[in-house]
Chain A
Amino acid sequence: MDFRNLIPFSKKNIDIRRDEENPFAMMQREMNRIFDSFSRNWEAIEFPEATGPFTPRMDVAEDAKAFTVTAELPGMSEKDIDLSLSGDTLMIRGEKNQEKEDKGRNYRYSERSYGSFSRSIPLPRQVDADKVSASFSRGVLTITLPKSSAVLDERKKISVRSE
């Protein structure tokens, strides 16, 4: 009987080393992030916080006509990303797989993360759901959410007359 199969820590597995971080640096960064979040006001979209083991971070920007949501998804392609719109919720799903040619390779060091994720973004009222578009380039996903023309018109209709 081959006893090696019964031992969970075979020679192959123990080579991986994880990058351990200084907990104080981590705390400081988290504090910075909290202070940063005070200075950015976010009225338009209620964004659920990133949770789970593999959740890409997202940024949201706005101009007069549209919102853009960007996410850094290195190593994924447009085929790995599934965007769907149901009602007022935009759902982003994706999976990042380890490279297939890994057989016969020994990991010496591993920092990158893999897995699947899903995030849902409740769209604000002023987004025109029919005109949502997305592009993927250099590992960055950009989703454009145009504001509906009804909302844009509403905003223009105030005129001040002199008496």
Chain B
Amino acid sequence: MTDANREMTKKEASIPEGVERTKPRSVFKPDVDIMEQKDDTVLTADLPGVDERSLDITLEKSVITIRGTVAPEIPAGFRLVYGEYAVGDYERAFTLSDEVDKDRIQATVKNGVLKLVLPKAAAAKARRISVTGA
């Protein structure tokens, strides 16, 4: 497999130590982009097959966990005859810094892409200090 091909291949999520999975399906680690701008940090994650009802985002202390469940993409009665990708759930956790205002986190999902807006807390924003001539 070439480097270029690797980018489109889904990666299996790592299983936390001492935890057994109860469902016999694959769990993938979604690909994310993280961008920072003046007032917030934006996290986008590719979660094909996930919509607002099947997505579960939890914030516990400073760890935000994204869990998405995917319904089987093969219609009932069909059997898989050729497979390049596997269908499975998604799971990934991020530790937020104190800079993030945890009460104002917003999440939207469209076309299988989650956009998580993490606003900066007032204390963490860069401030301009005006200088006045004496």
Asked if A53 CB lies within 8 Å of chain B CBs, one says yes
**A56-84 interface mask toward B, CB cutoff 8 Å, 1 = contact, 0 = none?**
11111111000110101111110000000
Question: In the complex, how many residues of chain B place their beta carbon closer than 8 angstroms to a beta carbon of chain A?
Answer: 43
Interface bin, chain A: 35 or more
A30 CB-CB contact with B under 8 Å: yes
**A70–B73 contact, CB under 8 A?**
yes
Residue pair A138, B85 in contact (C-beta under 8 Å): no
Residues on A with beta carbons closer than 8 Å to the beta carbon of B121: none
Instruction: Flag if B32 contacts A105 (CB, 8 Å).
Output: no
Which B residues between 16 and 67 are near A, CB-CB below 8 angstroms?
A: 31-38, 41-42, 44, 46-51
The answer to whether B11 touches A55, judged by C-beta atoms less than 8 angstroms apart, is: no
Q: Which residues does chain A contribute within 8 Å of B7, judged by CB atoms? A: 53-54, 113
Please state if A59 and B78 are interface contacts (CB–CB under 8 Å). Answer: no
Binds B, one of A1-9, A34-42, A126-134, A149-157: A34-42
Interface string of B80-106 (1 = CB under 8 A from A): 111111010000000000000000000
Q: Which residue of A lies closest to B31 (CB)?
A: A111
| Chain A residues close to B by CB (< 8 Å) | 21, 26, 29-30, 36-37, 40-45, 47, 50-63, 67-68, 70, 72-77, 99, 102, 104-113, 138-140, 142
